[in-house]
Chains A and B, each alone.
Chain A
Amino acid sequence: MADTAIHSTAARPPGRRIGDLARTWGAPLALVALLLFNAAVTPNFLTWQTFFVNLTQVATIVIVATGMTLVIATGGIDLSVGSLMAIAGALAPLIFGGSLFGPLDPALGVTLAIAVPILVAGCFGLFNGFLVTSFGIQPIIATLVLFIAGRGIAQVMTNGNLQTFSNPSFQWIGLGRVFGMPVQAVLMLVIVLAVAWMLRATIFGRHVLATGGNEPAARLAGVPVNRVKLAVYAVSGLLSGLAGLIVIAINASSDANLIGLGMELDAIAAVAVGGTLLTGGRATVVGTLLGALIIQLVRYTLLANGVPDAAALVVKAAIILLAVWLQRQGGTAR
């Protein structure tokens, strides 16, 4: 009995075929089913307002999860994303508020308040990659360091105080509209498409997948494994920084204790539901987008229909497990 369990996925072609179908079409089908269900049941679902509410809520998760997808594709994991969001979010008001570089020209202030925090978060991401490549520390431990210390750094910078502000030109990245679409949703789509293209069509993308698929083999084949890893952790850091800025722009305030709290779990869940292998070697950024949309829509469905938020957590857990289990039926997963 125990033996069949190992090989069952390989020995049952029908199950495998269902699994392949589930993997390829499971996420889109689940999303369509959720949309149809909501259209029929949830009041006021088919309005632009509902659409935009869901998009703005999911945008930061998708942006962070896109970086996470790349990290996971190399066989790593990044637990520090929430803390890096907090660092970027704490830094921006210090810059445009003038307490870091002194009073600045408004346009320059906003530019620096966007560029510097993102770059700082990217540097911290690079630091994660450095620990993973140069010291051979397991990614979960290497990024645990900044998970613990990062939020502390953000709190030290602000002394733990809530920073409230009103700066419309900075807040544009959280509240603005482009062609009627929320800016962060546009950013999200651009990032997803760019990274999806990069994974599919560039040499760097192939190097990412090769590193995650079989690192020693990739190394022997001449893939610059260490540089690839440094790059994906840096990208994850940059995207986390951007997400941190969007969060504080929406809230018109920055609370280092709360920005990005639990984000690592949301991002990993989106990646897993989207069908990226957590052991590396295969990645789908569009899948991650769909995964995040599914998780968001389930939560919205439950809340809009009067189910308490706590119960929504339990349902979210069940969905993550179901989605990953369905993908496992495909055979190659492990």
Chain B
Amino acid sequence: MTTDTVAPRRPAPPSLAARAGAALSRQGVLIALVLLILFGALRYDNFLGEYNVLSVLRYNSMFALIALGMCFVIMTGGIDLSVGAVAAMASVVSALLSPQGLLPALLGGVAAGAAVGLINGLVIAKLRILPFITTLATLLAAQGTGLLLAGNQSVSVSWDGLFVELGQGDLFGLPIPALIAAAAYLLGSLALNYTGFGRHTLAVGGNEEAARLMGLPVERITIAVYTLSGALAGLAGVILASQFGAGQPTEGAGWELFAIAAVVVGGTLLTGGVGSVGATLSGVLLLGLIFNILNFENGRGVISLSAYWQSVIRGAFLLVVVILQSRLTRRQAP
């Protein structure tokens, strides 16, 4: 048997079309974002105005933080459904601590989130229960704990300290929450691309058994990503409390799905092993800008789009993006 009767093992070099498709699917979300910004800038006078840009950044920084944690979790092949409830619970904790000053409120909220994340990680890694179920259960538990701590109502924050500055203040002319989110994305991107932790995270998501056999501390990585996700959700909760002046135990419902949508729109595969921090940020901004543009449409009074139409349009947009993505990835790997 000669070698040339055996099917060649090496894949054929990708054609130009395939490579263009691959590049497009990598940069697709960025292209869509640029197109959307161009559309907005041409259509509305104040779209790129300082006020609009800053308020989009301020409001979406909470979602950006949650999506960053979700991105790491999804890269390991897991999912974290608890983030919205954790943010709500953390907002209550930090509102309750806000009379003690900025630092206790900040640390308390983040620690509360990290604690739930740690529980998620331990249950998933040690008891080996599916992430979906584990975080579904902690979603309920965090919701209940938040309501218990708040006594079933929102808890107003103390207005005489620095705490409200965290969500409402500016630094160097930029909203503080946006700066926090930017720093988190910078650190997240560095961690993913230049540290062992990042490579290990992708390895666990790519093939958990192989990663284990290679001697990677799979359990510790799993625990770390869920704790990180919980801590970032906690931070988002702290910003929520500060921005709205109250801890909101019933806020945060559906945030987890928004974060998953942002991560997926950013091209991260739900099966794990692939992911990009930058594309996740693009995904968050894309979904956030659609909301923003719909508000502008409302303001023009040309088409009166009620709040109800907005979720229909957001769903339709998500549909278009996932269909395009499935087309592109299919062309990439037939």
Residues of A within 8 A of B (CB): 2-3, 5-6, 77, 79, 131, 135-138, 140-142, 144-153, 155-156, 159-160, 262, 265, 268-269, 272, 278-279, 308-314, 316-318, 320-321, 324-325, 328
Contacts of B79 in A (CB 8 A): 140
Q: Which of B143, B264, B309 contacts A156 (CB 8 A)?
A: B309
B197 within 8 Å of A (CB atoms)? no
Query: Could you list 28 A-B pairs, sorted by A, with CB under 8 Å?
Result: A2-B218, A5-B128, A5-B219, A77-B132, A135-B323, A137-B322, A141-B261, A144-B260, A146-B315, A148-B311, A148-B318, A149-B311, A156-B312, A159-B308, A262-B253, A269-B136, A269-B140, A278-B130, A278-B133, A309-B147, A310-B152, A311-B148, A312-B144, A313-B141, A313-B143, A321-B129, A321-B134, A324-B130
Contacts of B219 in A (CB 8 A): 2, 5
Contacts of A155 in B (CB 8 A): 306-308, 311
- Bound complex: CA of A137 vs CA of B327, how far in Å? 10
Residues of B within 8 A of A (CB): 79, 123, 126-130, 132-134, 136-141, 143-148, 152, 212, 217-219, 253, 257, 260-261, 264, 270-271, 306-316, 318-319, 322-323, 326-327, 330
Q: Is the CB of B147 within 8 A of A160?
A: no
- Bound complex: CA of A320 vs CA of B264, how far in Å? 28
Contacts of A136 in B (CB 8 A): 326, 330
Q: Which of A138, A145, A160 contacts B306 (CB 8 A)?
A: A160
Contacts of A279 in B (CB 8 A): 130
Q: Is the CB of A314 within 8 A of B129?
A: no
Known contacts A140-B270, A152-B312, A159-B308: A313-B322 contact under CB 8 Å: no
Nearest A-chain residue to B129, judged by Cβ: A324
Contacts of B271 in A (CB 8 A): 138
Nearest A-chain residue to B269, judged by Cβ: A138
Q: Is the CB of A138 within 8 A of B270?
A: yes
Main DSSP-derived SS at the B contact region = helix
Q: Is the CB of B264 within 8 A of A311?
A: no
Q: Is the CB of B139 within 8 A of A265?
A: yes
Known contacts A148-B257, A152-B309, A310-B148: A137-B326 contact under CB 8 Å: yes
Nearest A-chain residue to B144, judged by Cβ: A313
Contacts of A262 in B (CB 8 A): 253
Main DSSP-derived SS at the A contact region = helix
Q: Is the CB of B310 within 8 A of A321?
A: no
Q: Is the CB of B218 within 8 A of A316?
A: no
Q: Is the CB of A141 within 8 A of B322?
A: yes
Closest Cβ of chain A to B283, distance in Å, is 13
Nearest B-chain residue to A142, judged by Cβ: B322
Known contacts A278-B132, A310-B152: A317-B137 contact under CB 8 Å: yes
- Bound complex: CA of A152 vs CA of B212, how far in Å? 45
Closest Cβ of chain B to A278, distance in Å, is 6
Known contacts A317-B138, A325-B129: A149-B308 contact under CB 8 Å: no
Known contacts A140-B260, A314-B145: A324-B312 contact under CB 8 Å: no
Known contacts A140-B270, A313-B144: A156-B308 contact under CB 8 Å: yes
- Bound complex: CA of A253 vs CA of B152, how far in Å? 25
Closest Cβ of chain A to B62, distance in Å, is 18
Nearest A-chain residue to B311, judged by Cβ: A152
- Bound complex: CA of A141 vs CA of B322, how far in Å? 8
Question: 8 closest A-B pairs (Cβ-Cβ)?
Answer: A149-B315, A313-B144, A152-B311, A310-B147, A155-B308, A317-B141, A152-B312, A317-B137
Q: Is the CB of A317 within 8 A of B144?
A: yes
